[in-house]
A and B are shown apart, each in its own frame.
Chain A
């Protein structure tokens, strides 16, 4: 659209013709109030708050439906307009309960803000207000009907945004009500988006309501710990006697990779952090039972035993299993710890997809991976396998939104019918679940689907665990030959990608560098040159009594692989975890670990977008895995600096964030040290101390620190040097996807009461629907 010039409040503005006046004004910093207008949702013109005066037009016009054209003149603030807005607020307040002192939204309420701005202090009415009792629609959503101002944001968000259509309007006139389309309950995905967009306190969260006041919380933006999409989630944190607790999680700031979106897990599934089952002190097995012990004792015991086994039986007798939910820094440290401290390549993690195959297949290519942001704007997308609606709610949201707002063309190749097919331009049913022949059939096929794919200029290909090893290689070769194709690979957990990228693999170092040809990693002391054992091989070795020690960080192989509990009878088992998992219950030493919400660091989502974690909650007794590892290493090696290069120059690049300086503020202590010729020091327990080394050694991780520390996502480059053909990788048979639903989250979801309740509610709904 050509740009046009128009005048707002005497200022000349420019915007593409046809832009909504309210959007054009907001972009120019002119705020026009609105309740019903919500960017990206259909227009309502119902609240009449955005009225403005347009020259030569007799009536006030709504800015949310007025499109700009050349030469128009608008006034957005004048006594006439202020009076119109004030009158509208007066009408709303007439029936509003004004229970602001106890309302969840008090302090975060758009109706309060508007009343404050336009004033509507005097009450004109003597009659009784409408009162209706509050309703509970689901474990997650409550509806306080009198507070509702009928802006219909929730109805549209649920329908247009989520494609769930669980909400509607009943009655008319002053009896109009928002109602679930099922009688008095929500049969939906429980995403809580309706609560998020509600401008007042009509829709409230089951887990947060009446807990605290917004201004009593500190609001910390960090990355969600559940699926692999990496949504920004804002934690509302409140001080307690033993640290600080998370009171709520929401998408308050809407400034993350997820824009407006947050799913049920991100919004309600944080409560595992507050579970009474959390481990709060180390446990040490004595006389066959796990007993509480001091950190010093537990560390000394574990370190000395690991050192003893290494020195007597060699590193090959020790295994390490890492986590899909620990930070990149912790994962990097863990593999470095395994390789340089324990002298072993026996390191693996629970793999949910074949990132290594994609990295290898793309060797020598650049710019072939798609970030999550690319999905929001791609013209054509081919989705192979998976069910993003359940497993990747943000991806599903972006696909829907891109189709809805930009008319993107979505093609789906899947063995099962999935909900996103409703947005698809075309869908291909993969017969017998075999995805391997897909590239060939797209090339040669005569189906309308294959023809449409061939006709697309550019294509973004998203695939999940259904494609592994050579299938990935074929798909990539097809895409590279075709040209103009970018890829994304779907894994399961918040840092599944980071675990693979950081080399929690027996045959690959960080950045998918083969252990046989370590390149820059040659500087690692004691790096074993041959690939180690994979996770199943380590278990097998333990069964044969060949594994002297096993260190498990944030994983529960005993539960996920349904292992015989006697398997580790002759293995010294050390576990770092949040809970006494089935694996931890068998351990000799258990360390209580901090969750992802209780530490800082970085994580990489499944699309390769690197994001910064900010420490939200705090809990007495637990320690981040990073610190636990450094302390273990301290008991095994003499010079800890060979593991964590703390105190060296260059690490000041973290802008002081790690030492408590406020965002955007210079680290004055570091400046003072610098000015006085003193060396700035970092603690060895500061995970950011290792960031420089990651940047220096790991291919594809050149860190744009300014962006990263500003809270933005930074797309990493998957650029394996490509020494080994995909066929020789150990990986593809080892993949065990979690297939999470909307309310499960690998092994972690079990500890969230909120998610359990939502799953039960949904099960009940299903039974009732079936009975109908």
Chain B
């Protein structure tokens, strides 16, 4: 079981029950679980949606769309069944928060799903786990079975007239399926390829029915908001960025791990105080603020609050909350190669710019890093990435292009240092170099 970390600055909301044995339904109930859903049953759908809107909760998957707004888009009347789909296909490199929720607090996901169902009038929820999280499925399924046994799921939940069913499902190992429409295709048993939008899932989604798709962390936060009140939750963050979120700090820091901090928490402080700074007396070279697809920030750019708006203003994105810290012993060309290799491997191949673009970027960077590059390659890499940006069928192409452009623009000198057949000048004895798969 991964080591849990802690820091006094943390405000534990979603992670409140981590490490407290809440996988047991009795323990979960002891810790106040399933009270919020009862409150929701009493208050009705309009109240739930207003409460979530007022909390300022924004999607924790990366795009940061208002959860309350998303729920309100679902039509009240629908000929086809409505669905809640929990996106637990957590695959963005640098991101490892949802797996802790499934591991420590599966009932929070179930409870949040029921509340979402009550809010939009859905009777069916799906919890979709990343293929590589198969080992968490057992925990999740146990929790679902327990909830059914207690009458929290089924045809008359909590003794009310309301019905709600939950089905769990794992993927087969595709990052692309984290994109919401590809997720629906995968869940329907098809190739994991995104759908054309519009129509949006809130109108035509899973099996053609209106569907709410929320990130697992978003859903797990919902019961807490109901319990503590929207205003109290919103007050924890910055304006328009309500509450806390799980930041996954990895890379060259003393104490890597998942920390729950209020939105707007200073990034520099996060690295140097919460995570304990850079080890071995090395210096900070760069920070990836929100998962591998977000453009890299330079040390002089990190004195910012970590919320959707401030990181956006700094030219990057808050994304999935995966903060990757890079020290001065890292080769940025190799880092770029590592990231683009991931996207080349994960591109579904549907559209030309992403399928061919990621592949050529990977090939060019591989050659370039090995010392066989030329000056024009640097411009070509940037040209290629710039011509992928905004041209692809789904955001995966942007996710590959955005960081690449940032690497070339911000670390052009490091690229130039690889020219003329020189071996990588950043390779240091004793420092493990990232290897390309």
Residue positions of A touching B, CB distance < 8 A = 43-48, 51, 59-60, 65, 83-84, 87-88, 90-92, 94-95, 124-127, 149-150, 169, 171-176
Cβ contact within 8 Å between B360 and A46:
no
Contact of B393 among A46, A60, A95 (CB under 8 A): A46
> In the assembly, what is the distance between CA of A716 and CA of B359, in Å?
58
**A46 with B351: CB separation less than 8 A:** yes
A-B contact pairs, 8 of them (CB 8 A): A95-B359, A124-B360, A125-B363, A126-B367, A150-B352, A169-B191, A172-B176, A174-B355
Total residues of chain B contacting the partner, CB 8 A: 32
A46–B363 CB distance below 8 A: no
Provide the residues of chain B in CB contact with A127, threshold 8 Å.
Answer: 360, 363-364, 367
Measured in the bound complex, the distance between the Cα atoms of B390 and A87 in whole Å is 13
Nearest-neighbor residue (CB-CB) of B366 within chain A: A127
Which residues of the other chain, B, contact A175 by a CB distance below 8 angstroms?
349
Question: Does chain A have a CB within 8 A of B325?
Answer: no
A236 to B347, alpha carbons, bound, how many Å? 41
Closest to B390 in A: A59
Tell me which residues from 296 to 352 in chain B have a Cβ below 8 Å from any Cβ of chain A: 344-352
The answer to whether A173 touches B387 (Cβ under 8 A) is: no
The smallest C-beta distance from A493 to any residue of chain B, in angstroms, reads: 43
Q: What chain A residues lie within 8 Å of B357 (beta carbons)? A: 91
Q: For the complex, what is the distance from the CA of A399 to the CA of B399, rounded to whole Å?
A: 44
Q: Please state if A176 and B196 are interface contacts (CB–CB under 8 Å).
A: no
In the complex, what distance in Å separates the CA atom of A87 from the CA atom of B176? 23
Chain A, interface SS category? loop
Chain A residues in 8 Å Cβ range of B174: 172
Residue B384 at the chain A interface, CB threshold 8 Å: yes
| Shortest Cβ gap from B376 to chain A (Å) | 8
Bound-state CA distance A256–B384 (Å) is 43
Least Cβ distance of B346 to chain A in Å? 7
B6 within 8 A of A: no
* The residue from B176, B196, B387 contacting A43, defined by CB atoms under 8 A apart: B196
- Asked if B356 is at the interface of the complex by the 8 Å CB criterion, the answer is yes
Contact B360 A125, beta carbon cutoff 8 Å: yes
Extra contacts, 19 of them, besides A92-B356, A169-B191, A172-B176 (Cβ < 8 A), are: A43-B196, A46-B351, A48-B393, A59-B390, A87-B391, A88-B391, A90-B387, A94-B360, A95-B359, A125-B363, A126-B364, A126-B367, A126-B377, A172-B174, A173-B344, A174-B344, A174-B349, A174-B356, A176-B348
* Across-interface contacts of B24 in A (CB, < 8 A): none
Closest Cβ of chain A to B204, distance in Å, is 14
Q: Give the chain B neighbours of A90 by CB distance below 8 A.
A: 387
Give Cα distance in the complex from A369 to B345, angstroms.
Answer: 59
Q: How far is the CA of A720 from the CA of B333 in the complex (A)?
A: 84
Contacts of B359 in A (CB 8 A): 95, 173-174
Most buried by B among A92, A95, A173, A176: A173
Binding site for A on B (CB under 8 A): 174, 176, 191, 196, 344-353, 355-360, 363-364, 367, 377, 380, 383-384, 387, 390-393
The answer to whether A91 and B350 touch across the interface, beta carbons within 8 angstroms, is no
In the assembled complex, the Cα of A95 lies from the Cα of B353 at a distance in Å of 13
A50 to chain B, nearest CB (A): 12
In the complex, which residues of chain B have a beta carbon less than 8 angstroms from the beta carbon of A48? Answer: 351-353, 391-393
Sorted nearest first, the 6 A-B pairs with minimum C-beta distance are: A176-B349, A87-B387, A91-B356, A174-B359, A173-B347, A127-B363
Q: How far is the CB of A58 from chain B (nearest CB, A)?
A: 8
Q: What residues of chain B lie closer than 8 Å to A125, measured between beta carbons?
A: 360, 363-364, 380
Would A83 and B364 count as touching, CB distance under 8 A?
A: no
Interfacial chain B residues near A44, Cβ < 8 Å:
350
Q: How far is the CA of A150 from the CA of B355 in the complex (A)?
A: 10
Q: B396: nearest residue on chain A (CB-CB)?
A: A173
- Complex alpha-carbon distance, A695 and B344, angstroms: 67
Knowing A87-B391, A127-B367, the reply to whether A45 touches B351 (Cβ < 8 A) is yes
Q: Which residue of A lies closest to B358 (CB)?
A: A173
Contacts of B390 on A, CB cut-off 8 Å? Answer: 59-60
CA separation between A129 and B351, bound complex, in Å? 18
Residues of A near B176 (CB, < 8 A) are 172
Check A124–B384 contact: CB distance below 8 A. Answer: yes
> Contacts A46-B351, A172-B349: A51 and B367 contacting too (C-beta < 8 A)?
no
| Distance to closest chain A CB from B92 (angstroms) | 17
A94: chain B residues at CB < 8 Å are 356, 360
* C-alpha spacing A125/B361, complex, angstroms: 10
Given contacts A46-B393, A87-B353, A88-B391, contact A173 B384 (CB under 8 A): no
Complex: A65 Cα to B391 Cα, angstroms: 14
Give the residue name and chain of the A residue nearest to B398 (CB): A59
Nearest A residue to B397, CB-CB:
A48
Instruction: Assess the A46–B350 pair: CB atoms within 8 A.
Output: yes
Give Cα A442–Cα B265 distance, bound, in whole angstroms.
77
| CA distance in complex: A150, B349 (Å) | 9
Residue of A nearest to B350 (CB): A46
Tell me the complex Cα distance, A150–B358, Å.
16
CB distance from B394 to the nearest CB of A (A): 10
Question: Which chain B residue lies CB-closest to A95?
Answer: B356
CB-CB nearest in chain A for B373: A126
Residue from A43, A83, A95, A172 in contact with B348 in the complex, judged by beta carbons closer than 8 Å: A172
> A173–B391 contact, CB under 8 A?
no
**CA A65 – CA B195 in complex, angstroms?**
11
Task: Please name all residues of chain B whose beta carbon is closer than 8 Å to the beta carbon of A65 when the two chains form the complex.
Answer: 196
In the complex, how many angstroms separate the beta carbon of A125 from the nearest chain B beta carbon? 6
Bound-state CA distance A173–B344 (Å) is 7
User: Are A174 and B347 in contact (CB-based, < 8 A)?
Assistant: yes
Give the complex CA separation of A87 and B356 in angstroms. 11
Q: Whole-angstrom distance between the alpha carbons of A762 and B307 in the complex?
A: 63
- The residues of B that contact A91 with a CB separation of less than 8 Å are 352-353, 356-357, 360, 384, 387
* Closest chain B residue, CB of each to CB of A89: B352
What's the least CB distance linking B155 to chain A, in Å? 33
Q: Which residues on the B side are within 8 Å of A95 (C-beta)? A: 356, 359
Tell me the complex Cα distance, A509–B380, Å: 77
The complex places the Cα of A289 from the Cα of B357 at a distance, in Å, of 72
Q: Which residues of B contact A87 (CB under 8 A)?
A: 353, 383-384, 387, 391
Contact partners of B377 in chain A: CB under 8 A? 126
Expressed in whole angstroms, the Cα–Cα distance for A494 and B358 within the complex equals 52
Residues of A within 8 A of B348 (CB): 172-173, 176
A95, B357: Cα distance in complex, Å? 11
B95 to chain A, nearest CB (A): 21
A65 CA to B351 CA in the complex, in Å?
14
Query: Contact partner of A171 among B349, B380, B383, CB < 8 A?
Result: B349
For A175, give the chain B residue with the smallest CB separation: B349
Q: How far, in whole Å, are A43 and B348 apart by their CA atoms in the complex? A: 17
CB distance B352 to A46 under 8 Å? Answer: yes
Chain A residues near B350 (CB, 8 Å)?
Answer: 44, 46
- A94 to B349 Cα, complex, angstroms: 15
- Contact of A173 with B345 in the complex, beta carbons under 8 Å: yes
Complex interface: chain A residues within 8 A of B352 (CB): 46-48, 88, 91-92, 149-150
What's the least CB distance linking B298 to chain A, in Å?
Answer: 26
Q: How far is the CA of A731 from the CA of B174 in the complex (A)?
A: 66
**B249 CB to nearest A CB, Å:** 30
Residues of B within 8 Å of A84, CB to CB, are 387, 391
Find out whether the CB atom of A173 lies under 8 angstroms from the CB atom of B367: no
The closest CB in chain B to the CB of A169 belongs to: B191
Task: Flag if B345 contacts A51 (CB, 8 Å).
Answer: no
Give the complex CA separation of A615 and B239 in angstroms. 79
Query: Chain B: which residue is nearest A85 at the CB level?
Result: B391
- Find chain A residues with CB under 8 A from B380 CB: 124-125
- In the assembled complex, the Cα of A92 lies from the Cα of B349 at a distance in Å of 12
Could you tell me the distance between the alpha carbons of A205 and B422 in the complex, rounded to whole angstroms? 50
List the A side residues contacting B387 at CB < 8 Å: 83-84, 87-88, 90-91
Distance from A46 Cβ to chain B, minimum over Cβ atoms (Å):
5
A296 to B112, CA, bound (A): 96
- CB-CB under 8 A from B356, the residues of chain A are 91-92, 94-95, 174
- In angstroms, Cα B347 to Cα A176, docked, is 10
Give the shortest distance, in Å, between A649 (CB) and chain B (any CB).
Answer: 62
